[in-house]
Amino acid sequence: MALSELKENGVTILAVDGSLDAEETQILETRVLALLESGETALLFDFSGLDYINSSGLRVLVLAYQRLKKTAGKVAICGIKDYIQEVFEVSGYDRIFPLFPDRGQALAGM
Amino acid sequence: MAEKSISFTLTNKQQCFQCFQPIVEEFGAANGLKSKTVFHLTLVLDELITNIISYGYADHDEHPIEVSISLDRDTLRIRLEDDARPFNILEAPEPELDLPLEERARPIGGMGVHLVRNMMHNIAYKRENGKNILLLEKQLTQNGCDSRN
C-alpha cells in the first residue's frame, strides 16, 4: 500500500494505492486519526489506485465519518473500482459516503 | 492441466492475508477465474480467518487453520476447519444497516460476516470433534464470474 497526501481547496486528499489489508489499514488509521487530531475538517479518500479493501478498511472510513459528523466536517470517496463499489453497496455505506467518479468532481461537489 | 483444488494450513500466529492472498491469486489464474471472483474469494477468506484469529482463542498457543478451495464445474467451494471456540456464522447478528451510523448500537459490528453472507450463495456450519467446520459455496457462470451480476 502507498499513501500520499495533499491539500487542495481546504480538503485533505488521501490517495491510497494497492491493498488495504489488516496491516496496511492500521497505517491508514494512524494517519487519519492524526489528521483529525490536528483539526482537519474535510477528508477525501482517493481510491482510484486501490485494489483491495476489507471490513477493517471500511471501519477507518466510518471512524472518520463519525468524528467529522460531530464538527460538521465532511468525508467523501472518489475513484473506486466497480468491484470495490459493490462492497460499499453490500455494506450500505454507499448511502452514507458521497462517492465521486474522480478527484475533480469530488472537490467540486464537497 | 489446471489445478481444480488446493489445500493449505495457516496458523493464528501468521499474518494471514500475506499468507493466503498469493495462493488464492494463483488458484484464480490457474483456473481462469474472473478478477472479481478472485476478489470475492480473497475477501471472504480474509474476513473469516481474521475473525477466527481475533476472537477464536482463549489461550496464546499456536493453532492450525485448515483451508481448502475447489472448483467443480460452476461451483466454487471453500472449506475452513479450526479448533477455535464454537462460532456459527449463520447465527451471528446482522449489522443494523437501516439505521443511520450514529444510531447504531454496534456501528460496524458484524460487517465482515455480512459481506461473507452476501458474497457466497450457500453456507453450512457444523461443530465436530471440537472443531468448527465451515463450508461455503458460490455459483459461477461458465465464464467464472458471479452469476448474480
- Reply yes or no on whether the pLDDT at B131 is more than 90: yes
The mean pLDDT of B114-133, rounded to a whole number, is 96
- Spatial distance between the Cα atoms of A88 and A80, rounded to a whole number of angstroms: 10
The mean pLDDT of A88-109, rounded to a whole number, is 95
Hey, are the CB atoms on B36 and A91 less than 8 Å from each other? no
The mean pLDDT of A55-79, rounded to a whole number, is 93
For strands A11-20 and A2-8, give the pairing. Answer: antiparallel
Here the ipTM equals: 0.92
Query: What residues of chain B lie within 8 A of the CB of A47, using their CB?
Result: none
Q: Are A22 and A54 in contact (CB under 8 A)?
A: yes
Q: Min CA distance, A19 vs chain B (Å)?
A: 10
Residue A18 CA neighbour count, 13 Å, CB half = 12
* Position B82 confidence tier, pLDDT thresholds 50, 70, 90: very high
The mean pLDDT of A29-58, rounded to a whole number, is 96
Hey, are the CB atoms on B115 and A22 less than 8 Å from each other? no
Q: Min CA distance, A10 vs chain B (Å)?
A: 25
Hey, are the CB atoms on A90 and B36 less than 8 Å from each other? no
* Position B2 confidence tier, pLDDT thresholds 50, 70, 90: very low
> What is the residue type of B17?
F
